[in-house]
């Protein structure tokens, strides 16, 4: 295994341990269950799932390190001939019990492509983190974005505005004409060139990944004990429906995994356990639910 592959693999395994430990510490009931799996074509991963907790209704923090012959769907997607690939990454989605705690998602990944002789012909980094609240608290969104910006700024102060904009563009439920949530950062296809080497982008990935817990845990701690009603829970389940719609209609990673015979349990781990769709549901004018939907119609500069 070459240097970047090895370093990124160690990074995501350490980050998986750190994030799982941090989340477990907030939940007095549930622990992560680990499911190790192997990919028939090469490699495997560790899927860790938490469910039925006091704080987290369902969540997953997954790592995968896979390699082998490039599937036909990948050849078409990357516009290359037959060859081999290596991909490693961490992906997580957390669905809380309390409707006043936001759902969150993050992933950080590294990819390499090789020709038929095994020579590397391309490589890139991708990832990001975003926040999906059910009740909008401006201070929460500001904290999340400021924490991610601080991490970006340690590498390049142009990264946050660029990747914040890319996140707003990507996590857009086009069929609903609204954002999935309040965004965060999103980046993809960051390649080394004559100015910036792989070490630069690896260091950026580490900074972004290490910012996840400081960005999210304070929001969990702030809201996990808030009192809520059945109506609040119903609203959470309605908004979860929008989350499912995005993942199954627009999310590139989900669609790519389904088209390339990916591991279904890991791919669909991102979906919440209980979801509601109400015909022509419209929140009352001026209600907190109405104000959330209004805010999601246009991107907001949180920092």
- Identify the CA nearest to 5 among candidates 111, 122, 113: 111
**Which residues make Cβ contacts (< 8 Å) with residue 253, sequence separation at least 6?**
91, 107
Contacts 24+ apart (CB under 8 A), 96-99: 96/55, 96/56, 96/57, 96/220, 96/224, 97/53, 97/54, 97/55, 97/56, 97/57, 97/224, 98/55, 98/223, 98/224, 98/225, 98/226, 98/228, 99/134, 99/135, 99/228, 99/232, 99/233, 99/235, 99/236
Tell me if 162 sits within 8 A of 176, measured CB to CB.
no
- Identify the CA nearest to 242 among candidates 165, 296, 184, 168: 296
Of the candidates 13, 67, 95, 105, the residue annotated as catalytic is 105
DSSP string, 125-177: EEEEEEEE-SS--HHHHHHHHHHHHHHHHTT-TTHHHHHHHHHHHHSEETTTT
Distance (Å, rounded) from C-alpha 58 to C-alpha 127?
22
Collapsed DSSP state (helix, strand, coil) of residue 2: coil
Tell me if 61 sits within 8 A of 48, measured CB to CB.
yes
User: Rounded to a whole number, what is the distance in angstroms from the first to the last CA of the chain?
Assistant: 40
Known catalytic residue: 175? Answer: no
Active site residues: 105
């Amino acid at each position: 295994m070459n240097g970047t592959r090895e370093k990124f693999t160690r990074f995501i395994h350490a980050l998986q341990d750190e994030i799982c430990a941090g989340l477990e510490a907030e939940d007095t009931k549930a622990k992560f269950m680990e499911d190790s799996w192997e990919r028939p074509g090469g490699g495997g991963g560790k899927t860790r799932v938490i469910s039925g907790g006091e704080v987290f209704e369902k969540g997953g923090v997954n790592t995968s390190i896979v390699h082998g012959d490039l599937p036909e769907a990948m050849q078409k997607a990357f516009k290359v001939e037959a060859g081999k690939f290596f991909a490693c990454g961490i992906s997580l989605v957390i669905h809380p019990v309390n409707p006043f705690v936001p759902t969150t998602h993050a992933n950080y990944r590294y990819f390499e492509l090789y020709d038929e002789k095994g020579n590397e012909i391309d490589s890139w980094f991708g990832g990001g983190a975003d926040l999906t609240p059910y009740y909008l608290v401006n201070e929460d969104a500001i904290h999340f974005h400021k924490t991610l910006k601080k991490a970006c700024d340690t590498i390049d102060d142009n990264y946050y505005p660029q990747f914040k904009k890319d996140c707003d563009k990507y996590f857009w439920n086009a069929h609903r004409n609204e954002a999935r949530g309040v965004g965060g950062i999103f980046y993809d296809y960051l390649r080394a060139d004559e100015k910036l080497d792989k070490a630069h982008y690896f260091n950026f990935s580490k900074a972004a990944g290490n910012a996840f817990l400081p960005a999210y845990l304070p929001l969990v701690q702030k809201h996990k004990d808030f009192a809520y009603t059945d109506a609040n829970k119903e609203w959470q389940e309605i908004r979860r429906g929008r989350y499912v719609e995005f993942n199954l209609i627009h999310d590139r990673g989900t669609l790519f995994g389904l088209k390339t015979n990916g591991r279904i349990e890991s791919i669909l781990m991102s979906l919440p356990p209980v979801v509601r769709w109400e015909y022509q549901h419209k929140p009352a004018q001026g209600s907190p639910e109405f104000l959330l939907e209004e805010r999601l119609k246009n991107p907001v500069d949180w920092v």
